[in-house]
Structure 1
Amino acid sequence: MRAIRLSTGAVLAALLLSLTACVPATNPVVSASPTPTPTLEPTAEPTAAAVTSIEITTLSLDVYSDDTMTDSWLHADRNPAEITALTEYFGTEPTVSSDTRPGEGADSTYEIQSWPGFEIRYIVSEFGPRGFFITATAATVGGVPIRAAGGVQVGDDLQALAASDPTAASTVPTPDGDLFRVKVDQIPVDSEGFDGPAADFVAVQSLEPFTTVTTIRAPVSNYGL
């Protein structure tokens, strides 16, 4: 039999073909899509803390957001910033009026800034309008709770409050009838010639039948000033 001789080139070509057939097919490379960058929403500017209560003390009117005092004004000279802030808190402009009452030696004239259930009364003197007292006749004004120092509000049980401190309770005659009041947030005052302990305080009070608190007023004194 005649031997078949293959050329070297043919052998190499056949070997290369067989190796290629043995290599498994690879998956095509797929380039990953770029991850989208999240869009940042603009951050809202911080707003003023919400008013949760207004407290009437002997010395001042204090505004709170939860347990944090955010504003405070002394019962002194008229402060336009106080009226501006209260207008914002209560949501309405105050009614401005005046009142003249007879006094010893001379009549007293008052300028009054009032909202339903709340008023600030200034006595008009040669020095201009000065803080005289604040009166609240509602538990909330414009949705804002109003309280006396210690947390008492209009509508609370006046007799229960008096029973908790009988020495702070008293009855005062007025042109409108007897007024029953309980003194809270008392601050002792040196008053020469006054018979008894003199003090400034917040009056939590009611006309007859003396059952619930109808009025909170400050500052009030018991030494005739």
Structure 2
Amino acid sequence: MSSPPGLPDSRPEAPRSRSRMIVGIVIVAAVLAIAVVVSFALTRTSDSARPAPTSTASATPTASAAATPTPSASSTSPPASSATIDVNGDGFTLSGSAGETFSHTWAAPAAPAIAALTEAFGAAPTISEDLNDGNFHRGNFTVYSWPDFTFYDYLDTEGGKDRSEVDTPTYVSFSASSIGDIEITNEFGLRIGQTLDEVRQLAPDSGGDTVPPIFWFVRGRSTFYEDGVRSYGVQVDTDGEHVTSITYKFIATGL
């Protein structure tokens, strides 16, 4: 039944109109959902494109610095210079690695020389006695021994000569040309371990005909009671093939 002419139609909408409304709502909802998804995707892309945290970047310089070599102590520190004991006819001179020197003459008191040698070798000597056992052609001595180096000091005994009257107040003998960082030198170029031929090339005064061979150098310069000064010659002992010890001491001309 229709409404009277001139009045609006009050009948309910047809089902077709309601369907169109529902479809429209669904479309709007779908558009909103797509917008949300696109927005989330853009946000994720932006996050992934951001640079890595600064802590990761700082790790590279640290590793590079660690890889830089550090100079070793041995490459920057100069090698230590060695000390020397230079023995000659009048005594010996000890020169330290820092440039300090000490000189001993054969007639001088022994105590300063023993103290200087103790400091140079870094250890106290072993002390013993070398007695003449009634052989009055040689004196009695207190012996101060370090490895490969021996210092002899005249020992006053009852009935013996005064120190000022003996030909050998002090003397030394050594069986190595290098002791620790100390080089032991002499005016002839003699060294422990040299062969017999090498010793002969240095022109000894005499010797070489005993078994084992013993050589003497400048034994004629040995002085006895000459203004308190003592000058010595050199005795070179061997084992038959090589030099085993070098001794600076008074050598009588008759030998």
TM-score norm. by structure 2 comes to 0.53
Which residue in 2 is equivalent to 1:37? none
* 1:127-177 per-position Cα deviation (integer Å, ceiling 9, x unaligned): 369733210011222331112223322122332221342x5231476xxx5
The number of aligned residues is 163
**Ranges in structure 2 where 5+ consecutive residues have no aligned partner:** 1-79, 226-230
| Aligned counterpart for 1:180 among listed residues 214, 234, 237 | 214
Which residue in 1 is equivalent to 2:238? 206
Equivalent residues of 1:162, 1:182 under 8 A apart: no
How far off its partner does 1:70 sit?
A: 2.1
How far off its partner does 1:183 sit?
A: 0.9
| Aligned counterpart for 2:181 among listed residues 136, 139, 143 | 143
How far off its partner does 1:91 sit?
A: 1.1
Which residue in 2 is equivalent to 1:28? none
* 1:86-120 per-position Cα deviation (integer Å, ceiling 9, x unaligned): 11111111111112233445884220011010001
Q: Aligned-residue CA RMSD in angstroms?
A: 3.5
Question: What SS does structure 1 have at the residue aligned with 2:155?
Answer: strand
How far off its partner does 1:221 sit?
A: 1.3
Alpha-carbon separation, structure 2, partners of 1:145 and 1:180: 23
| Aligned counterpart for 2:91 among listed residues 52, 60, 63 | 60
Give yes or no for the alignment of 1:217 onto 2:247.
Answer: yes
**Gap change, CA 1:106 and 1:217, over 3 Å in 2:** closer
Alpha-carbon separation, structure 2, partners of 1:104 and 1:98: 15
**Gap change, CA 1:200 and 1:91, over 3 Å in 2:** closer
Q: Which has the larger radius of gyration?
A: 2
How far off its partner does 1:64 sit?
A: 3.2
Equivalent residues of 1:91, 1:142 under 8 A apart: no
Q: Which amino acid aligns with 1:206?
A: T
Q: Which amino acid aligns with 1:71?
A: F
Alpha-carbon separation, structure 2, partners of 1:128 and 1:107: 13
TM-score norm. by structure 1 comes to 0.59
Question: What SS does structure 1 have at the residue aligned with 2:169?
Answer: strand
| Aligned counterpart for 1:131 among listed residues 161, 165, 169 | 169
**Gap change, CA 1:100 and 1:57, over 3 Å in 2:** same
Which residue in 2 is equivalent to 1:6? none
Which residue in 2 is equivalent to 1:163? 201
More strand by share: 1
Give yes or no for the alignment of 1:82 onto 2:116.
Answer: no
| Alignment of structure 1 residues 9-158 onto 2, 5 Å | 51-64=82-95, 70-105=101-136, 108-125=139-156, 126=160, 127=162, 131-158=169-196
Q: Which amino acid aligns with 2:117?
A: L
